[in-house]
Amino acid sequence: MSSPTLWLTSKRGKARDEGVNYYSAAQAKAPQALLATEPLAKEQRAHLLGADCFCGCSNETACSASARRSLKTNLCKWCDSTSPACEEKVCYSNCNLNSYCEDPYEICVAIWRQDNESIRISTLCHNPHRPIENLMVPNYNTSRCIMAHQPSEDGIMYICGCVDEQECNDKLIFENHTNGYSMLQSKEVIPVAAISLLPPLLVAVMITVVFYLCRTQKRRKRAKAWGGKPGQPPALPEPRRAAEREEKLSVLMDESLAGASPNCASSRPTELLPIELDEMVGKGRFAEVWRARLSHSRSGQYETVAVKIFPCEEYSSWKNESQIFTDTSLKHESVLQFLTAEDRGSGPRREYWLITAYHSRGNLKDYLSRHILSWIDLQKMAGSLVSGVAHLHSDYTACGQPKIPIAHRDIKSTNVLVKNEQECVLCDFGIAIRLDPSLTVDDFANSGQASMTPQPSLEDPL
């Protein structure tokens, strides 16, 4: 080996050549080890620390850093313990310190330690051929620090290694596993979510139980009202009582027949209301609708009413609608008010009348063609219509009395009358049907059909 004096007086090229020979003779020791153990000349130290130092670097610390860079060592994050910052499957070490590795073969390593209370990250340089925490670093020949789960008795542990990129152990990637931070957060969220969901769950259960009890109680009341047992359909009323209900009108009528045409029914003359027809306001398939005046003999005043007049050929339609109207449970603020039913005239000129309340605004179709509704009026008008339909379909009246549901079967804008700017009423029950649970399928098929209901004739027995 050349003496230090020879190095000081030699030329630059010779110093570089002898420095290379010295490095080879030292069996590839690290530059720092050589500088610490051998008394070298300044030019020798400069060659070992790097060409930049030889060319005029006076700061030995800067020359050491330059030497490490020239030997392509990795720049890594280096902290004993930090708390990570995570987002989905990527975490950052939150380490503010870095350092070049001492040896070029050392890699950047990050160790993730997790227990029930905290997560800690250790970052450092490490020889991948040696174990760390009694574990070998897997898959470190990459520029991405991909976390790999490792067995541990002290909790959850992940480890990763990377090279060829500055501070590559700062960004920790979880590709095949949920990161421990998310797992820790989820463990904290589960009890909070369970406690938060418990009250609405209990409320839902209570509402379900109350609804079930109310429904069961309604069925029991209905069965009791009809005199039957729970779970069985109401029994059909006695034929005599059913006949009385079907034929019970505001003005009592009798089915005994008098001299009339074979196609028309007749009834015993009854006291007719003092009604004077004024003007026809509508005409349908089975009947005409007139505006009329109902006189009050005592006061001398009159009341405007509507009269629906059926010819004798449409007796069955009149009979079906009158039976629907005369059901006292039909009364509702959203159903057309019924006054009475009458048959007038004789022979082929016999007519059948239904007398109801009169609404001057006409049907809904004509009203909407002349008026534009505000949102509030539309909401209230639609609400009244829905209320009327719900009453028809209900098993009980508003007072809680049992009733037979009714299906209108012909709801349309021309069969809805406008009561006022915010209310409607249902009318025209010509093909409506009573949903009596005791009726058979054939009864439902034929009920309410004007064309299929038989008409009484003179040949029927008295």
Distance, in Å, from the CA atom of 256 to the CA atom of 263, rounded to the nearest integer, reads: 15
Q: Which residues contact 449 (CB under 8 A, 6 or more apart)?
A: 431
Write b or e for each residue in 124-139: b if 16 or more Cβ atoms lie within 10 A of its Cβ, otherwise e.
bbbebeeebeeeebee
Cα dihedral 354, 359, 362, 364, rounded to 10, equals -100
Identity at 145, one-letter amino acid code: C
Q: Which residues contact 238 (CB under 8 A, 6 or more apart)?
A: none
Distance, in Å, from the CA atom of 136 to the CA atom of 76, rounded to the nearest integer, reads: 18
CB 159 within 8 A of CB 110: yes
Identity at 20, one-letter amino acid code: V
CB 366 within 8 A of CB 372: no
User: Which neighbouring-strand residues pair with 123?
Assistant: 79, 110
Place of tokens 């009348």: 353
The answer to whether residue 410 is catalytic is yes
The helix-helix angle for 60-70 and 42-49 (nearest 10°) equals: 40
412 has binding-site annotation: no
Distance, in Å, from the CA atom of 90 to the CA atom of 432, rounded to the nearest integer, reads: 69
Distance, in Å, from the CA atom of 215 to the CA atom of 104, rounded to the nearest integer, reads: 81
- What's the burial of 158, exposed, middle or buried (CB within 10 Å: 0-12/13-18/19+)? buried
Token code pair at residue 311: 């010819």
User: Which neighbouring-strand residues pair with 288?
Assistant: 283, 309
Catalytic entry in 366, 395, 410, 436: 410
Binding positions: 308
Catalytic positions, written as ranges: 410
Binding positions for ATP: 308
